[in-house]
A = this chain, B = another copy of it.
């Protein structure tokens, strides 16, 4: 199979359709919204799209990558985590805060993320989706890298960073909204460091 001419199989295939990728993404959005992140599966998404699961893997890779594409995130936040999680543990907080601020500074990331937060505020399904994705794709990885750390401490560190980007980019409270990123890093990194490493 090549990306240019995917071969489709299975009882649900619809040979007349051209936008297979788009159909998979629509099916994925429906599956994630209905089941949440953890319970959704590539198999279920493939079934809903009427394609073979191998085709979903072929186009996107893992379930996490399907999610990132379906939510129109411009990249998988988890792809950027490894470069932050390796290195001197004494600067883990600083690297995390700097990466988090730089990602949120990109409008093409911020817009879909604000949409996810908004849908989390609007209903139970959105909250479940955000909770499970953040938990599975991000926080559990940070917890692994930081060593044996209480999940409550990881989440309190995340809360500090989430609160900063909400007040900075959504509520746009001054002077936080216009502050230099490095000024915020200097203030917040010791906090995150203390929660994660002690």
Which positions in A face B, CB cutoff 8 Å?
114, 117-118, 120-122, 127, 130-131, 134-135, 139, 151-153, 155-156, 158-164, 166-168, 170-173, 175-176, 179, 183-184, 187-188, 190-191, 194-195
Contacts and interface: CB of A to CB of B under 8 A. Distances in A.
24 contacts: A117-B121, A118-B121, A121-B170, A127-B171, A127-B172, A130-B171, A131-B171, A139-B173, A152-B183, A152-B187, A153-B187, A156-B176, A156-B184, A156-B187, A156-B188, A158-B163, A158-B173, A159-B176, A160-B160, A162-B167, A163-B163, A163-B164, A163-B166, A187-B195
B176 A155 contact: yes
A-side interface mostly:
helix
Given A155-B176, A163-B163, 16 more contacts: A118-B121, A121-B121, A121-B170, A131-B172, A139-B173, A152-B175, A152-B176, A152-B179, A156-B184, A158-B173, A159-B176, A160-B163, A162-B166, A162-B167, A190-B194, A191-B191
